[in-house]
Amino acid sequence: MLVLFAHSGTGSTVATVHRGDGVVLQLPGYDRKHRVPHDLAHFATERALGLTAGVFGAIAAGGVFDNMRLVSGKPRHDAAQRSRRLLDAHRRDLTMAELIAGVIHRAIEEDEAGRAPALVREAWVSFDGTDCPWSEAQVAEAVTTLAEMAAEWEAHGAVRATWPDDLVAPMPVPQGVRRGRRGRT
């Protein structure tokens, strides 16, 4: 999935997402006060930490958030129902992605990159109560990835990035649907 982050006409940012199914969507940003776009922080953090069910993994799987707009392509006939089911099933993952991307974003915005591993650990423990699932090296990679993307953003006002095909949120099986063959009597 190709994602182009650019300035919007309103002074904020917009991420134009070219999904593998031919659908092109726009995800507006609401971050005029930040030097680095928040959705760019999501992208860098989720990719570096391998989050399949964060914002961009959900979009890759067919999720469409309420604020997104269809630019081109033909969605599936059941796209709205599938999106709703997908986003509902991964609500906890999306909340966690928001929390962790926010910590990485803040670390870059406030020039506190060195503190990011400790801040991510604290955020995770407050969210889940268990040991942090990412190593310091993985968190450092997320910070480095975002810093590199932020430098490109500042230099060019746009960032073009590819979302990995293997980081896609799993589609939940619809309730009440039976799979497989029926037994013969």
- Please indicate, yes or no, if residue 181 is contained in any of the structural domains: no
- Please indicate, yes or no, if residue 179 is contained in any of the structural domains: no
13, 39 Cβ separation under 8 angstroms: yes
- Please indicate, yes or no, if residue 39 is contained in any of the structural domains: yes
- Please indicate, yes or no, if residue 115 is contained in any of the structural domains: yes
- Please indicate, yes or no, if residue 51 is contained in any of the structural domains: yes
Parallel, antiparallel or unpaired: strands 69-72 and 24-28: antiparallel
Residue 75 pLDDT: 96
Residue 183 pLDDT: 54
CA–CA–CA angle 113, 108, 161 (5° rounding): 115
Residue 177 phi, psi dihedral angles, 5° rounding? -100, 125
Total domains present in the chain: 1
Along the chain (185 residues), what's the average pLDDT of each consecutive run of 10 residues?
91 93 94 85 97 98 96 96 96 97 95 95 95 96 97 95 97 74 56
Residue 88 pLDDT: 97
Residue 107 pLDDT: 95
- Give the separation between CA 172 and CA 182, rounded to whole angstroms: 22
51, 45 Cβ separation under 8 angstroms: yes
- Please indicate, yes or no, if residue 183 is contained in any of the structural domains: no
- Give the separation between CA 25 and CA 17, rounded to whole angstroms: 5
- Please indicate, yes or no, if residue 88 is contained in any of the structural domains: yes
- Please indicate, yes or no, if residue 173 is contained in any of the structural domains: no
Residues in the chain: 185
- Give the separation between CA 152 and CA 168, rounded to whole angstroms: 25
Residue 10 pLDDT: 78
Query: Integer distance in angstroms from the first to the last C-alpha of the chain?
Result: 47
pTM above the 0.75 mark?
yes
> What domain range includes position 27?
2-75+82-162
Residue 89 pairs in a beta bridge with none
Residue 11 pLDDT: 75
